[in-house]
Amino acid sequence: MIIIVAALHCEAKPLVKHFRLKKDLKIRSHQVFRSEQIHLIVSGIGKIKSATATAFMCGRLPTENIQLIINIGICGAPSDFSIGAIYLVNKIVCHSSKKALYPDILFKHRLNEAQLLTAEQPFGGNSDWAAGSSLVDLEAAGFFQAANLFVSPEKIACLKVVSDNLAPSTVTASKAEELIGDQLTSIDEVLLAYSSLPSQAQLDTF
């Protein structure tokens, strides 16, 4: 069972279509779409909303059946990152607390990896953070901490598609939808790899 957390409906839309997910009309607090294997929740923007939605979704499912909890969405990045490129995140830093979080990436893959900074609010290229080499988003740190309450870090992933070079006002909903839609093959590969990790692994956490 895979849980996908997307901040915006426009990010979720290509995934809903691709995985043929049906809206769960019984849930009113969030938009949830699901199939037998995949549960997608639209969290809203920001790390608190992302954490809340992640915990909400995880709490509704038997933990031992969860193979992967993944945050899929767009992000900003300095100009040396190409717009449209997809990254598997190997380190998340919460900008406000400075806490670093580390998903365990235990399988071989063909994607590029990157580090990610979770900010409190969108920012432009004049920010002092722009000098770093991180991707930037608004959710991942909250998402990760909530997910890690339920599963071990090799079952948590964060996939980000670069939508802008630190110019968030240039990103439209249709652009975000297109950027995610263009990366469905890579998303498929990652979901497949994670879902084939040993299932007994959950027993070994401490």
Partner 1 sequence: MLKFSHIYVETEALTYPISKELIRRFDQAQLIKIDDYRDIFNRNKQNWSAQKEAQKLILAVQKDKFYYEGSKNCFNFGHKHFYYSSSILNCPFDCSYCYLQGLFHSANIVFFVNQSEYFDSISMLLQEKLQLLLCLSYETDLIALDPILPTIDGWLNFAEGHPRLTLEIRTKATNCSRILRRTTLDNAIFAWTLSPQIVIEKYEKGAPALKSRLHAVKQAIEYGWKVRICIDPILFIPDWQLHYQELIEDLFSTVSAERIFDVSIGVFRMNLNYFKKVKKRHPQADFMSCDWQCREGTASYPIILKKQLTGHVLRLLAKHIPMERIYACER
Angstrom distance (rounded) from CA 62 to CA 19: 21
Under rule CB under 8 A, residue 198 binds partner 1: yes
Under rule CB under 8 A, residue 175 binds partner 1: no
Alpha carbon separation from 53 to 111, 171, 203 (Å, rounded):
27, 24, 25
Under rule CB under 8 A, residue 192 binds partner 1: no
Report, in Å, the least distance between residue 157 CB and partner 1. Answer: 13
Under rule CB under 8 A, residue 18 binds partner 1: no
Under rule CB under 8 A, residue 189 binds partner 1: no
Under rule CB under 8 A, residue 201 binds partner 1: yes
Query: Residue 90 or residue 165: which is nearer to partner 1 going by CB?
Result: 90
Cα torsion 81, 146, 103, 154: sign? negative
Angstrom distance (rounded) from CA 25 to CA 85: 34
Report, in Å, the least distance between residue 106 CB and partner 1. Answer: 4
Pairing of strands 86-94, 156-164: antiparallel
Binders of partner 1 among residues 102 to 161 (CB under 8 A) are: 102, 104-108, 113, 115, 148, 151-155
Report, in Å, the least distance between residue 125 CB and partner 1. Answer: 23
Contact with partner 1 (CB under 8 A) among 90, 127, 165, 195: 90
Q: Determine the 3-state secondary structure of 61 from DSSP.
A: coil
Helix intervals (H) in 33-114 = 47-59
Residue 169 phi, psi dihedral angles, 5° rounding: -70, -15
Query: Residue 127 or residue 148: which is nearer to partner 1 going by CB?
Result: 148
Report, in Å, the least distance between residue 66 CB and partner 1. Answer: 13
Report, in Å, the least distance between residue 67 CB and partner 1. Answer: 12
Report, in Å, the least distance between residue 135 CB and partner 1. Answer: 14
Under rule CB under 8 A, residue 195 binds partner 1: no
CA nearest to 129, candidates 96, 159, 158:
96
Residues that bind partner 1 (CB under 8 A): 90-91, 100, 102, 104-108, 113, 115, 148, 151-155, 197-198, 200-206
